[in-house]
Structures are given as structure tokens and as C-alpha cells.
């Protein structure tokens, strides 16, 4: 079989699931890393987007023009698969996307249009052709079936995890969604639709409350769900920078038998984890990815996420538990960024704890 034929048959890569002795020793469990950073575009985005793009070419032919609005990683995934498939690609980027990201896209042959301050503001411009969704499509969710701990932006990856768990009868398996506090649209969505994580009844803020709220709320009738639209994004984890999550994914999360545990962390905690993970595993990760890994580097945070039943296990029983962290990848990271992270984390070292949120509760976990 030729290389080109092999690529057409299987565009995405079956990435390895590797044991992490470093994280296993810290948390006392068997920790595994799903290395989605090894996909052709260096992030999990390639799974679902390559499937979507292949379907577009099959339906419309080789003259199809793929367009996507993206903060970077979804755009790069589209550009890479467009190059493999031999079709045209245009990526609509926010104006603040780095030169390095733009250079990576052009290297893949993509045309770039910059407009708007963040992802959602680029969408109207891109709506005139076959628009590749960055996260809001069942096709993408179907292509992202992987693991248990993951970061969340718009919800494409966690949608795939929930769908994959359902397909293999794992609806009761805990799934943990992690975000940074300045880009936590999914956390807010679950809070709104569960009366701040206490029931399955939505609580929509009044018009007066919305004025002081960090988001406005839209009722999506198709899914009978309330969706927050963030007024601003205040996090360095730009790959998590969706201003609103996919309504279908939020619906799945609210209805899921085993539920979803939602947690938010400060940027500095994600930066600290990125440095620790880089030292241990010799892999650079952007903040969206290191956010997933924070429970693996803070035992108290992990225990609070998994709850009293897990905390009550003996050390021997915990060793029998397998936790999988999705190393979702991403190209928005450099050695220069890591040096900057070191300076930022050092500036907050006077505090002995991290302030985090887990399912509506704000707690302090010690720095480790």
C-alpha cells in the first residue's frame, strides 16, 4: 500500500497510552498518559477534524474548500488534514494569535484571515462555505473517544469521552473536566443547569444579575439547555478560550448516569504543572494540556476531586486504581514560555496554597 493510500485510510494516529511512574508515585495510583500530542497536528483536535474533513471530501469532491474559525490548534488540525487530502483550507484567527501559530498554518498551505478578539467573533466571517466545527459536532465527538481526566474548552474532547464511555458501558466511570478560572464556560454551563451542582434543575440569572455576571445566558431549545456566553476570557490558556460550550455536550453531561466532576484552577497552577511535567517527562505542554495534569501533581487536589469514597481507600487499594490523563497536546508553547511561567509562579510563591473550585465549592489545596 502506498503512503498516500495509507493516509487516506487512517488519517489520525493511534496514540500510545503510557504508564507514568512519576505521577503514579505522587498520587499513589496507577497513572497513565494518553499522548494525543503525537497526532499529526500535535493535538487531539486532529482525531475528529480529520474524520469531518474526510467526510466533506467524500461528499463534495476534491474541490471542497474547508474553512474553520479557530484559536490555533483546531485550525492547524484542519490545515494538516487539508494538505493530506489535497483540498483548499482557510483558517479564521483572532487578531491576537501568535506569529508562530500563523507561521505553522502557512507552512501547511492554509490561507489565514485574522478578525475578532477571540474565537467566537471569527465565526460570522467564516459562515459562507463548508465550515469545519472546532468542537460543536457529533462527528468530532465520535472521533475523540479516549479517557477520564481532560481539559475542556468548547467540549469536543469531553463529548467524545462521554460518547466513548457510553459505547463500552462505562457510564458510571468518573469523568473529570478541568478548566482555568478565566476560561471556564463549561463549568459555568454545568453550574447553571444543575442549580450550582446541587440538582438537575436549571437556574437562569435574572436580567439584573446578568449585568454583574461574567456571562449572559441563552436557552437552546433544541437541547432544552441553558448555555452561558462569556463576556470576556481572562486566562493564558487560550486553547480553552471558547466563550460558550457546545449545547449538545452540556446536555450529555447533565444527563450522564455517572455525572461529570468539574474543576477550575488558576493559570499559575497550570504553569507550575507544565514545568513539573516537562522536567519529569521531557515533554512541553501548553497550559490547556497541563491543566489536565494538575491533579496528578497535587495529591490533595486529586483526593478532593474524587471524593470521600476514594480518599477512604487504603494505599494498597489505591494502587489498584487506574487513572488516565489525556495529554491533549497543542502547539502554543515554547521554551521562552516555560521560562516566563517560572517567573510568574515564583511571584506567587508567598501563598502556601492554590485556590480552586470543584463542583460549586471553592477550596484551598496546599502547594506540593
pLDDT band at 172 (very low <50, low <70, confident <90, very high): confident
Q: Which long-range contacts does 158-167 make (Cβ < 8 Å, 24+ apart)? A: 158/186, 158/249, 158/253, 158/260, 159/135, 159/246, 159/248, 159/249, 159/252, 160/47, 160/48, 161/326, 162/249, 162/252, 162/253, 162/256, 162/260, 163/138, 163/252, 165/258
- Burial class from Cβ neighbours inside 10 Å (0-12, 13-18, 19+) for residue 258 reads middle
**142: confidence class by pLDDT, cuts 50, 70, 90:** low
Distance, CA of 191 to CA of 262 (rounded, Å): 9
- Residue 288 main-chain phi, psi, to 5 deg: -60, -35
Which residues fall within 8 angstroms of residue 121, CB to CB, at 6 or more apart? 94, 115
73-85 vs 99-107: helix axis angle to the nearest 10? 10
The most confident of the ranges 96-105, 220-229, 266-275 is: 266-275
The model's pLDDT over 8-23, given as tens digits with 9 standing for 90+, comes to: 456 888 899 999 999 9
Where in the chain are the domains?
Answer: 1-44+144-368, 45-131
Q: Element (H or E) spanning 316, and its range?
A: helix 315-319
CATH placement of domain 45-131: 3.40.50.1100
Q: Is the pLDDT of residue 140 over 80?
A: no
Q: Which fold has domain 1-44+144-368?
A: Rossmann fold (3.40.50)
pLDDT of residue 169: 86
* Chain-centre distance for alpha carbon 330: 10
Does the CA dihedral 335-144-185-180 come out positive or negative?
negative
Distance of alpha carbon 179 from its chain centroid, rounded? Answer: 8
Mean pLDDT of 318-322: 88
- The pTM assigned to this predicted structure is 0.83
Mean pLDDT over each residue of the chain, to the nearest integer: 86
> What is the four-CA torsion angle of 146, 246, 295, 194, rounded to 10 degrees?
-120
pLDDT at 132 over 70: no
Residues 269 and 348: beta-carbon distance below 8 Å? no
Decide whether 1-44+144-368 matches 45-131 in CATH topology. yes
Are the C-beta atoms of residues 263 and 293 closer than 8 Å to each other? Answer: no
Amino acid at each position: 500500500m502506498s503512503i498516500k493510500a495509507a493516509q487516506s485510510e487512517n488519517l489520525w494516529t493511534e496514540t500510545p497510552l503510557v504508564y507514568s511512574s512519576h505521577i503514579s508515585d505522587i498520587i499513589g495510583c496507577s497513572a497513565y498518559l494518553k499522548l494525543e500530542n503525537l497526532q499529526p497536528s500535535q493535538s487531539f483536535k486532529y482525531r475528529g477534524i480529520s474524520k469531518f474533513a474526510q467526510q466533506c471530501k467524500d461528499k463534495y469532491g476534491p474541490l471542497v474548500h474547508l474553512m474553520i474559525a479557530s484559536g490555533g490548534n483546531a485550525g492547524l488540525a484542519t490545515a494538516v488534514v487539508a494538505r493530506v487530502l489535497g483540498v483548499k483550507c482557510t483558517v479564521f484567527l483572532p487578531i491576537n494569535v501568535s506569529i508562530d501559530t500563523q507561521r505553522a498554518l502557512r507552512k501547511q498551505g492554509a490561507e489565514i484571515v485574522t478578525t475578532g478578539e477571540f474565537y467566537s467573533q471569527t465565526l460570522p466571517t467564516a459562515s459562507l462555505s463548508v465550515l469545519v466545527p472546532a468542537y460543536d459536532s457529533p462527528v468530532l465527538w465520535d472521533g475523540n473517544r479516549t479517557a477520564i481526566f481532560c481539559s475542556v474548552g468548547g467540549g469536543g474532547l469531553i463529548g467524545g469521552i462521554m460518547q466513548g464511555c457510553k459505547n463500552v458501558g462505562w457510564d458510571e466511570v468518573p469523568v473529570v473536566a478541568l478548566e482555568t478560572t478565566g476560561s471556564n464556560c463549561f463549568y459555568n454551563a454545568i453550574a447553571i443547569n444543575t442549580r450550582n451542582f446541587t440538582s438537575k434543575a436549571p437556574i437562569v440569572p435574572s436580567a439584573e444579575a446578568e449585568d454583574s455576571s461574567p456571562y449572559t445566558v441563552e436557552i437552546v431549545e433544541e437541547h432544552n439547555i441553558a448555555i452561558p456566553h462569556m463576556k470576556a476570557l481572562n486566562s493564558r490558556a487560550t486553547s480553552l478560550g471558547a466563550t460558550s460550550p457546545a449545547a449538545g455536550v452540556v446536555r450529555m453531561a447533565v444527563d450522564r448516569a455517572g455525572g461529570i466532576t468539574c474543576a477550575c484552577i488558576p493559570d499559575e497552577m497550570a504553569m507550575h504543572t507544565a514545568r513539573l511535567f516537562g522536567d519529569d517527562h521531557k515533554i512541553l505542554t501548553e497550559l490547556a494540556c497541563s491543566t489536565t495534569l494538575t491533579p496528578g501533581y497535587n495529591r490533595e487536589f486529586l483526593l478532593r476531586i474524587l471524593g470521600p469514597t476514594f480518599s477512604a481507600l487504603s494505599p494498597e487499594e489505591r494502587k489498584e486504581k487506574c487513572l488516565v490523563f489525556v495529554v491533549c497536546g497543542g502547539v502554543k508553547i515554547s521554551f521562552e514560555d516555560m521560562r516566563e511561567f517560572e517567573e510568574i509562579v515564583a511571584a506567587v510563591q508567598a501563598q502556601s496554597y492554590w485556590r480552586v473550585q470543584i463542583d460549586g465549592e471553592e477550596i484551598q489545596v496546599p502547594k506540593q
